Structure 1
Amino acid sequence: MDVMTSLRVSTPFPAASELRCWTLDRFGELRGLRAALREAIAQVPAAAQDDLTDKVAVVATELATNALRHGLPPTEVRLLRQDDRLIIDVADHDLEAVPRLAEGRPLGAGGLGLQLTRTFAIDVGWYMTEDAKHVWASFPG
């Protein structure tokens, strides 16, 4: 049985600085996003650990996939940093849909991107601006 729950609504890290930003219009651009993220994280002192880089890349890909599949393009993926945190912030332009976690869904049934995000990240949430819905995840970095 699927149980749908909402993510916590919160704006993350207002003093975070943007390290990189990518705009995606198609699923085919996800591979390039992963490679560019790995390259960007490698430039961050004390953050370029393989395990962390892999987790950030998986989460960014999952959130961007959700935004491309369920949101309105273009999808914007930002890599941010504040103090000892790296933050992935993924935005789309669907202001009607609230991000929901599918709990109790069997593997292979889809909808596990937000579950993976909660597993790999320190903290996860979402917020809206005037023209976009953002889902974010933070990592030690």
Structure 2
Amino acid sequence: MRGSAGLGWPAASPPPAHDGLVWQLSDVTELPRVRAEVRRCLDAGGPADLRDRLLLVLDEMASNALRHGGGRVQAAVRRTGDAILVAVSDGDTRTPPTPAVDRDPSEGGLGLYLIAELSTSHGWWVDGDAKTVWAVLRPG
């Protein structure tokens, strides 16, 4: 099932990816551990700017899914050619990622705009009982 993307988030599958890290998450309190794991892996040879963008995108996507996604959250960071794919799945298949409109920035809700700005491509799709939101980040 594919739906409308809603305000700039295209309904599309991500590029093929391989290798990487995967987490099953149930609470935002797990995100510091996830960030530490990503840092350990990327400090071994990745550019600092890519690491920082990746951590921010992963944190925004995972926290959105944990807060609004209906449970069963899986987060993954994988390689796709010369880029990195961040994909976060949750159980809310009926609600597309929808950026906040006409909201005071102090109320939050700007994470999807940030993810779109930091990535070279992004999208979402529904497969069975899971919705996946994804973003691709490239070095530089």
Q: 1:56 aligns with which of 42, 54, 57?
A: 54
The aligned runs of 1:1-141 (5 Å cut-off) are 5-14=7-16, 16-43=17-44, 48-141=46-139
**3-state SS of paired residue (1:108):** helix
Using the TM superposition, give the Cα deviation of residue 104 of structure 1 relative to its aligned residue in structure 2, in angstroms: 4.2
Q: Shift of the alpha carbon at 1:40?
A: 2.4
Aligned sequence identity (%): 33
Letter of the structure 2 residue corresponding to residue 39 of structure 1? R
Counterpart residue identity of residue 64, structure 1: A
Cα RMSD over matched residues? Answer: 1.5
Deviations 1:92-120 (A, max 9, x none): 01111111112443321111111110111
AA paired with 1:105? Answer: R
SS in 1 for 2:7: strand
* Alignment check: 8 A CA contact 1:20 1:40 kept: no
Give the whole-Å Cα distance in 2 for the aligned partners of 1:77 and 1:103: 26
Instruction: Flag structure 1 segments of 5+ consecutive residues without an equivalent.
Output: none
Give the AA of the match of 1:23: Q
* Aligned positions, number: 134
Instruction: Report which of the two has the higher share of strand.
Output: 1
Give the Cα separation in 1 of the matches to 2:49 and 2:67: 27
Aligned counterparts of 2:95 and 2:19: Cα–Cα separation in 1: 26
Unaligned runs of 5+ residues in structure 2 are 1-5
**SS of aligned partner of 2:58:** helix
- Any conservation in 2 of the 1:6–1:98 contact (CA below 8 Å)? no
Q: Secondary structure at the match of 2:56?
A: helix
Structure 1 segments, 4+ long, off by >4 Å, are none
3-state DSSP of counterpart to 2:93: coil
Residue type at the aligned position of 2:113: Q
Does the residue aligned with 1:96 lie in a helix, a strand or coil? coil
Cα separation, 2, equivalents of 1:112 and 1:39: 28
Q: For the residues of structure 2 that align with 1:98 and 1:87, how far apart are their CA atoms?
A: 19
- Provide the TM-score with structure 2 as the length reference: 0.88
